[in-house]
Structure 1
């Protein structure tokens, strides 16, 4: 198989990495736990933008870049497409489908942080499931609100915020327990898709809670797109 540079950090990416042999490289930004049970090489840290990634691809004789990063990791996806194009190496991407609202859902779509905070104005106890971004805004919490922020980072928090340092997958039972204990009145989410974090949406639906949903960013065109891990892995075997 052509030497693969797999850009990851998601559960889907880890599933792909577990199928790669020692010639290939799994690249992580460095947040969260670094897997230690893979046959492929593991690289941790940034590349220095698209130019640095292009140099790495050329120096390491990478023959295929596979972007399996988070659907909201727009910058690294852009860097991957630009870098691979600069050195004439194909770029594939796993583009997981987003969730679709169901009967009983109350989704409030927003495009950025300003729209998000405006949408939260009527509420008192939001649950943030955006990752670490809310940590940069803890000094902006409105007087009537208490935030719960679920992310990978440990953080001291503030008098009016609780930081839950944990990672998915999250079960329906566990989410029901959390929502009952904390009395959230709104959920803040990215439209990440997949099953690992979908249970919060089901619980919000059960409890009649609105969901402030951050729209997906536009991602660059690549040589091939895949909607599932299975399809991508099949293509990797064929390409080998």
Structure 2
């Protein structure tokens, strides 16, 4: 049997994991809810860099690595490509397309936190949808700003920011209600792609709000890339000796 190591943490990865049988491993970094209804093994925690992942792949006799992590999880993607390459184990990656600006959009592209902070200087009520990263900068909030930070994990209260612990998908109606209640004047986002969190961009477009968009990181070359879950599952279907749920 070709034993699969599926690197996940996204909704797309969970869809793949639900198709895998007991001989395979679904690996999560540890953030968010751990699924309990899968046939495959669930592993939680890091590997210890590319060297640790190499040891794991070898000791567990993994025959295929699938990188279905978030598009901005560049480090784990690099580790997966390096580890699988060292052992000559095939590495596949799910690389969903990013969002594209549409008519009426005002996107301000930035490459890092310093550029992001400069782009926000003129605004007062930003909505951050970058995950946990803004939590490390709460002591840097400019005097004129009040932040709303939406991420998976709860966080202690802060007088200069509202921390929303929430998990997508987010509906258009729900996003409209949130924007009404908080009076945001700018949205801060990763270009994650997919439909689960896209509604915020539509609301920003409706209201003429700018979006400060963090550019996608460069990701390593792998043996096969897939634009969607359906294509990857079809490739698994014809792969010899893959145990399925």
**Structure 2-normalised TM-score?**
0.97
1:44 aligns with 2:63: no
In the alignment, what sits opposite 2:188?
Answer: 188
1:231 aligns with 2:231: yes
In the alignment, what sits opposite 1:14?
Answer: 14
CA distance in 2, matches of 1:118, 1:239: 49
CA deviation profile, 1:87-123 (whole Å, cap 9, x unmatched):
1100000001000000000000000000000000000
RMSD of aligned alpha carbons: 0.6
After TM superposition, the structure 1 = structure 2 runs for residues 81-230 of structure 1, keeping only pairs within 5 Å, are 81-230=81-230
Quick one: higher RCO (CA 8 Å, sep 6+), 1 or 2? 2
SS at match of 1:219: coil
CA distance in 2, matches of 1:61, 1:232: 21
SS at match of 2:65: strand
SS at match of 1:239: coil
CA deviation profile, 1:2-51 (whole Å, cap 9, x unmatched):
11000000000000000000000000000000000000000000000001
In the alignment, what sits opposite 2:57?
Answer: 57
5+ residue gaps, structure 2: 241-245
5+ residue gaps, structure 1: none
Write out the 4+ residue segments of structure 1 that deviate beyond 2 Å after TM superposition.
Answer: none
CA distance in 2, matches of 1:215, 1:88: 31
How far 1:157 sits from its partner (Å)? 3.2
SS at match of 1:42: strand
How many residues matched? 240
CA distance in 1, matches of 2:76, 2:157: 28
CA deviation profile, 1:143-182 (whole Å, cap 9, x unmatched):
0000000001111131110000011000001000000000
CA deviation profile, 1:70-100 (whole Å, cap 9, x unmatched):
0000000000000001111000000010000
CA distance in 2, matches of 1:41, 1:180: 43
CA distance in 1, matches of 2:157, 2:136: 11
CA distance in 1, matches of 2:126, 2:229: 33
CA distance in 1, matches of 2:207, 2:237: 45
In the alignment, what sits opposite 2:243?
Answer: none
CA distance in 2, matches of 1:150, 1:78: 27
How far 1:239 sits from its partner (Å)? 1.2
In the alignment, what sits opposite 1:24?
Answer: 24
SS at match of 2:103: coil
**Structure 1-normalised TM-score?**
0.99
SS at match of 2:154: coil
CA distance in 2, matches of 1:157, 1:81: 39
How far 1:219 sits from its partner (Å)? 0.1
1:79 aligns with 2:79: yes
CA distance in 2, matches of 1:179, 1:83: 44
